A = this chain, B = another copy of it.
Amino acid sequence: MKIAVLGTGEVGRRLATKLVSLGHEVTMGSRTADNPEATKWAEEHGGGAASGSASGSGAGSASGSTSGSASGPDSGSAAHGTFADAAAPAELVVNATGGLVSLAVLESVGADGLRGKVLVDVSNGLDFSEGFPPKVVTPDGGSVAEQLQKAFPEARVVKTLNTMTNTVMVDPGRVPGHHNVFLSGDDEDAKAVVAELLGSFGWTSDRIIDLGDLSSARAAEQLLPLWLRLYGKLGTGDFNFAIATTPGT
């Protein structure tokens, strides 16, 4: 699948790398076409240099400039470009930018670049301006996911993966035992696409909890204060939330 990963931070790089390894044609989007992190990532995964249009640098074609990466474990392709460049050819867009800037990032993509596409929002609105632990910002008393959906009604927003560290996102087996990933979204087909993608990461269907419509993203985003406390206490992000239920429920 042609996938744009918006954001060059740890989360974006981890997700993009996993997606390339699964055979997807991934373009990492950032504010500028020559972002050093994105350039480095694309090079490491066999991608070409950025150009004005991501589709000219290997993205959008599995046989593009990244086809020379046969020596690596990656079976997909890696490219980079601006947020808009990355989103333009993509069938699915991953928002891996910080939740406080996500709206501005998507505004730079524009409605045309998002129309009809599945928009996987893994962000959290964390305000570090007063130190650690950051405050969790809930736009308009809701969630970042709802804020994005409201701004881009023709995107098909699905909230997921925001309740764990990036290494666990792409490798649930890293944390032993039963634990869960949550899904929120108004578009059932979009949620099914994302559930399948999660499945390819190792999230078996019994681990995926569909919380309901997109307003349930509030519940997932409000888990962050607990996540941050546990992170501080355990000294590692290698943990995850689990829901213990009685048999039959």
Contact = CB atoms under 8 A, between A and B. Distances in A.
A240 B249 CA distance: 12
Nearest to A216: B229
B212 A247 contact: no
Interface in A203-249: 209-212, 216, 218-220, 222-223, 225-226, 228-230, 232-236, 238-247, 249
Q: Which secondary structure dominates where chain A touches chain B?
A: mixed
Contact of A229 (B178, B211, B244): B211
A183 to B, nearest CB: 11
A57 B8 CA distance: 67
Interface string A99-137: 000000000000000000000000000000000000110
A246 B239 contact: yes
Interface of A: 135-136, 141, 174-179, 182, 209-212, 216, 218-220, 222-223, 225-226, 228-230, 232-236, 238-247, 249
